[in-house]
Amino acid sequence: MDKLSIASTAPSADFLTDTLRRLVECDSPVGYNVDIKPLMEGIFRGYGLDMTWDRKGTGYVRLEGRDSSRCVCMGAHLDTIGLIVRGFNTGGHARDYPEPDGSLRVRQLGGMNYSSAEGCTCRIHCRNGNVVPAQLICDKHSVHSFVDARAVPRDEDHMSLSVIGDVHCMEDAKDLGITQGAIVAVDPEFELFDNGYIVSRHIDDKAAVAALVGLVDQLSRTGERPAVDTLLAFPIYEEIGHGGSYVPDGVDEYVALDITLLGPDYDADEHHVGVIAADAHGPYDWALTNTLISCAEQVCEPDRWDIQSCFHYSTDAMAAYKSGADVYAAAFGPACMNTHGRERCHIDALVETERLACAYALGMGRD
């Protein structure tokens, strides 16, 4: 098959959704890759590929290209928004309430939307290896108990973690292994609908990770190789701004795969893949962005891709730029509704993202 035929072939929707479900159901909040590491290693081992990790916690898989004189990087971050325990409430859920109850004060890891997360279940990953179930609730948690329950802000100063169990004081919580610095993963609540829509937390950025796994699967099935050596990177600190700040030697292009946006500035819906021309910090490389646009023109459905200048948003490719890495940087990814909440996309967006990833990897769009 020629490059255009390979890249234009519709990837398996079932493969992508199954991979996405496995990924979102594996906890990996910012800085915590204990569980996702063996999952990722096993996925790539199935293709005969080794996965390595740097000291920063970024995972790498190297794909040998037809031309090994240069190397490009395609990155999708493994980390999701989450929480970290900062202390114990000594005055109950409502902090001016006189009786302690063992609930936990938390800080966000990444841009948590507390209003969207109220009432969700979580897992507290303790430093001793224990995993403790909990629920994120407002300190004034009930309209039946607090007259101002609806008026209280949903933010770090008014939200707490309530352990799901017989915990009534700080000592009870500590007996379970909970300490300051325990990391909290929010349940994804994954749902796949018959019409192809997906509703789940952590579509950002597990959908892009699934697309890169899909790329590897497609190359494996066709026997094709990337145009040049291609390093797949999977950072664990993107949500706090520095996932892509380290770029291995020899890489001259960094293309981040991350969710793209829906809203008044974006000509997109949940079926789209977006090419990101600029983000909150400024524009990406002109020529490399044009390469991605050319790839999209050749392999994506005409009504399922767009160009975006993203607001309140950035990627690991921009983190590489800002750290002073000597690379060309660009970005693209699947459009997503309700970002940093319980997110929504369509399987079409994953299919188009994989198509675009495949076209770029095969060296299309450079004429």
pLDDT tens for the chain, 367 residues: list them. 677 777 777 789 999 999 999 999 999 999 999 999 999 999 999 999 999 999 999 999 999 999 999 999 999 999 999 999 999 987 655 555 545 688 999 999 999 999 999 999 999 999 999 999 999 999 888 899 888 989 999 999 999 999 999 999 999 999 999 999 999 999 999 999 999 999 999 999 999 999 999 999 999 999 999 999 999 999 999 999 999 999 999 999 999 999 999 999 999 999 999 999 999 999 999 999 999 999 999 999 999 999 999 989 999 999 999 999 999 999 999 999 999 999 999 999 999 999 999 999 999 998 6
Same domain, 115 and 128: yes
Q: What is the pLDDT of residue 10?
A: 73
Residue 167 within any structural domain of the chain: yes
Q: How far apart are CA 273 and CA 336, in angstroms?
A: 9
CATH of residue 156: 2.40.30.40
Give the model confidence (pLDDT) of 123-153 as tens digits: 999 999 999 999 999 988 889 988 898 999 9
Q: How far apart are CA 24 and CA 9, in angstroms?
A: 26
Give the total number of structural domains in the chain. Answer: 2
Tokens at residue 37, please? 């590491």
Same domain, 356 and 330: yes
Residue 290 within any structural domain of the chain: yes
Residue 126 within any structural domain of the chain: yes
Where among 140, 156, 186 does a domain terminate? 186
Same domain, 269 and 316: yes
Residue 98 within any structural domain of the chain: yes
Residue 323 within any structural domain of the chain: yes
Residue 271 within any structural domain of the chain: yes
**Cα 61 versus chain centre, distance:** 18
Residue 324 within any structural domain of the chain: yes
CATH of residue 53: 3.40.630.10
User: In angstroms, what is the C-alpha Rg of the chain?
Assistant: 21
Measured N-to-C along each axis, helices 36-45 and 13-24 cross at an angle, to the nearest 10 degrees, of 150
Q: Omega before 18 cis (within 30°)?
A: no
Same domain, 86 and 57: no
Same domain, 304 and 328: yes
Residue among 270, 266, 298 at smallest CA distance from 279: 266
Same domain, 62 and 141: no
Structural contact between residues 63 and 226, judged by C-beta atoms closer than 8 angstroms: yes
Q: What is the pLDDT of residue 324?
A: 97
Same domain, 160 and 289: no
Measured N-to-C along each axis, helices 203-222 and 347-361 cross at an angle, to the nearest 10 degrees, of 50
Residue among 163, 168, 166, 204 at smallest CA distance from 184: 163
Same domain, 64 and 145: no
Whether the full predicted model's pTM is greater than 0.75, yes or no, is yes
Where among 155, 186, 217 does a domain terminate? 186
| Residue 143 host element (H or E) | none
Structural contact between residues 272 and 306, judged by C-beta atoms closer than 8 angstroms: yes
Structural contact between residues 60 and 233, judged by C-beta atoms closer than 8 angstroms: yes
Structural contact between residues 314 and 331, judged by C-beta atoms closer than 8 angstroms: no
Where among 134, 156, 186 does a domain terminate? 186
Same domain, 52 and 159: no
* Parent domain of 116: 82-186
DSSP labels, 219-242: HHHHT---SEEEEEEE-S-GGGT-
Q: From the DSSP assignment, how many helices (H) and strands (E) are in the chain?
A: 9, 19
Q: What is the pLDDT of residue 1?
A: 66
Structural contact between residues 358 and 20, judged by C-beta atoms closer than 8 angstroms: no
Q: What is the pLDDT of residue 367?
A: 67
